[in-house]
């Protein structure tokens, strides 16, 4: 069963750096322009370590991974980074907004003992791909460190940890940083033995659901396997048997608390079937655009999606726009296991894309107005818009040992890379 323990983290020294200028978003959402901006923001920005540049003269002994390791060592010597004096858990809070709604995500960072996925109580919900895993493994081996936490959820109606984090967050944080979206991130070390024991006790034996960071978890497993193959596994307490995780209680109540799941929309390059073929399973309503721009079209479509059950928006290169709704009871015909069958993303891929429209070439876009622009620019045949899944859907799929289609979930907000680092030695 998962075991969660405190650790002596490496943290930026708030006396030597402006935290808002040295933290970075997760590597997998950094665009090329954002990458350059982060590089220029500070010579100590975490992007130099977590997502370094490839240079023309790179060799096996001098490359972005070896440079990352060098930065970590030098910044520790310079006091830019400091190691905590004793093992702790780290309360982490983000104050963020979704439109006009102000929200708060709170959890804590600790080390979780690695388990093989689907064999214990650590549950994934999405498939991974080899490219990102190799990149993260190279970084892990070079730095001997987890540079960013895996975002995970657990369920506890007792909310003992929640009460402790509420108390801790009333104290002065160790470090605070405002991210590129203007959201406030704060971290408080928890070193009190009573609090530490209470956190460990509540998490003992509970299922943990990976929300964001599947590649990093599987990378940690691969690293552990390599260390074991080299004969370095002696007691099971070695640092490579653990991985750094942010853990948040999915039972947090209230509309102003917790994670938000956002939809990831689909762009299609080619459709062999026509929209008329959707009439076999869907009620189709044309949407009158009246020459409106992308933002108006987006707002109209997304507001329609929220009114009904299995509901999708379609925008075509020809200018046609439709709201389609699956007829009641037809989700039973989806060729997928029960936990997946009722998900909008499964209906979109299995029934619409594979069966009715026979699409080829799928890309992904978070911003619906940008998806419409790209279809208008004839880069794609169509854009398909959908509602996000719910956290309970992720839990049900994970417990059934199933995996959602690629890019099914986008958990928001994102943790900053650099707020807490776990170095093995």
Q: Is the pLDDT of residue 11 over 80?
A: yes
**DSSP labels, 135-166:** HHHHHHHHHTEE-SPEEEEE--SS-HHHHHHH
Q: Is the pLDDT of residue 371 over 70?
A: yes
Q: Which residue has the tokens 């608390």?
A: 257
Higher pLDDT, 254 or 49: 49
User: What percentage of the chain has pLDDT greater than the value 90?
Assistant: 76
Higher pLDDT, 17 or 304: 17
Burial letters 379-388, b for 16+ CB under 10 A, else e = ebbbbbbbbb
Q: Which residues pair with 314 in a beta bridge?
A: 322, 384
Q: Is the pTM of this model over 0.85?
A: yes
Do you find a cis peptide bond into 413, omega within 30 degrees of 0? yes
Across 273-409, where does the E strand assignment appear? 282-286, 311-316, 321-326, 359-365, 382-386
Instruction: Tell me the per-residue pLDDT of 117-142, one tens digit each, with 9 for 90 and over.
Output: 878 899 999 877 777 889 999 999 99
Instruction: Tell me the per-residue pLDDT of 192-233, one tens digit each, with 9 for 90 and over.
Output: 999 999 999 999 989 999 999 999 999 999 999 999 999 999
Q: Is the pLDDT of residue 284 over 70?
A: yes
Instruction: Tell me the per-residue pLDDT of 137-165, one tens digit each, with 9 for 90 and over.
Output: 999 999 999 999 999 999 999 999 999 99
What was the pLDDT predicted at 339? Answer: 87
- 3-state class of 176 per DSSP? strand
Higher pLDDT, 405 or 90: 90
What was the pLDDT predicted at 326? Answer: 93
Closest C-alpha to 209, from 256, 148, 266, 250: 250
Taking CA atoms, 149 is separated from 243, 387, 418, 422, in Å, by: 8, 27, 9, 9
Q: Is the pLDDT of residue 2 over 90?
A: no
What was the pLDDT predicted at 91? Answer: 98
User: What percentage of the chain has pLDDT greater than the value 70?
Assistant: 98
Q: Which residue has the tokens 């093992």?
A: 87
User: What six digits make up the tokens of 250?
Assistant: 């999915």
What was the pLDDT predicted at 299? Answer: 81
Q: Is the pLDDT of residue 254 over 80?
A: no
Q: Which residue has the tokens 């776990």?
A: 422
User: What six digits make up the tokens of 391?
Assistant: 């956290």
Taking CA atoms, 260 is separated from 96, 105, 119, 263, 394, in Å, by: 10, 9, 28, 10, 13
Average pLDDT over residues 396-404: 90
Q: Is the pLDDT of residue 170 over 90?
A: yes
What angle, 0 to 180 degrees and rounded to 10, lies between the N-to-C axes of helices 294-305 and 368-376?
120
What was the pLDDT predicted at 291? Answer: 65
CA 196 to chain centre: 26
Rounded Cα gap, residues 151 and 208, in angstroms: 10
CB 133 within 8 A of CB 222: yes
Across 76-207, where does the E strand assignment appear? 81-83, 89-98, 101-113, 122-123, 145-146, 150-154, 175-178, 184-190
Average pLDDT over residues 343-367: 93
What was the pLDDT predicted at 43? Answer: 97
**Mean pLDDT of the residues in the chain:** 92
Q: How confident is the model at residue 55 (pLDDT cuts 50, 70, 90)?
A: very high
Rounded Cα gap, residues 147 and 150, in angstroms: 10
Report the range of poorest mean pLDDT among 64-68, 185-189, 313-317.
313-317
Q: Is the pLDDT of residue 253 over 70?
A: no
């Amino acid at each position: 069963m998962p075991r969660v323990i405190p650790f002596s983290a490496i943290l930026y020294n708030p006396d030597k750096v402006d935290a808002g200028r040295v933290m970075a978003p997760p590597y997998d959402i950094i665009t090329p322009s954002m990458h350059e901006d982060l590089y220029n923001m500070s010579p100590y920005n975490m992007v130099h370590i977590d997502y370094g540049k490839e240079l023309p003269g790179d060799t096996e002994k001098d490359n972005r991974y070896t440079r990352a390791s060098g930065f970590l060592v030098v910044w520790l010597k310079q006091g830019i980074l400091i190691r905590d004096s004793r093992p702790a858990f780290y309360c982490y809070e983000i104050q963020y907004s979704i439109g006009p709604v102000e929200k708060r995500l709170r959890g804590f960072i600790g080390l979780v003992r690695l388990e093989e996925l689907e064999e214990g109580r650590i549950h994934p919900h999405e498939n991974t791909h080899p490219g990102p895993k190799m990149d993260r493994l190279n970084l892990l081996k070079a730095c001997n460190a987890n540079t960013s936490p895996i975002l995970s959820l657990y369920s506890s109606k007792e909310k003992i940890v929640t009460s402790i984090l509420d108390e801790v967050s009333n104290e002065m944080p160790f470090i605070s940083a405002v991210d590129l979206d203007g959201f406030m991130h704060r971290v408080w070390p928890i070193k009190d033995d009573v609090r530490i024991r209470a956190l460990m006790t509540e998490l003992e034996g509970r299922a943990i659901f990976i929300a964001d960071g599947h590649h990093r978890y599987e990378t940690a497993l691969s690293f552990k396997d390599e260390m074991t193959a080299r004969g370095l596994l002696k007691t099971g307490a070695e640092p490579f048997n653990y991985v750094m995780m942010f853990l948040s209680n999915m039972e947090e109540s209230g509309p102003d608390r917790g994670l938000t799941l956002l939809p990831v929309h689909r762009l299609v390059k080619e459709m062999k079937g026509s929209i008329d073929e959707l009439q076999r399973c869907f009620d189709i309503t044309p949407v009158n655009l009246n020459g409106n721009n992308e933002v108006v079209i987006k707002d109209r479509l997304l507001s329609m999606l929220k009114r009904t059950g299995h509901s999708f928006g379609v925008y075509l290169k020809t200018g046609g726009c439709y709201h389609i709704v699956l007829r009641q009871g037809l989700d039973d015909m989806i060729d997928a296991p029960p936990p997946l069958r009722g998900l909008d993303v499964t209906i979109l891929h299995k029934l619409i894309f594979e069966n009715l429209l026979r699409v080829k070439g799928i890309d992904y876009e978070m911003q619906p107005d940008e998806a419409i622009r790209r279809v208008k620019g004839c880069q794609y045949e169509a854009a398909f818009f959908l509602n996000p899944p719910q956290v309970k859907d992720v839990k049900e799929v994970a417990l059934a040992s199933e995996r959602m289609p690629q890019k099914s979930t986008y958990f928001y907000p994102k943790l900053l890379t650099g707020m807490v680092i776990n170095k093995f030695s």
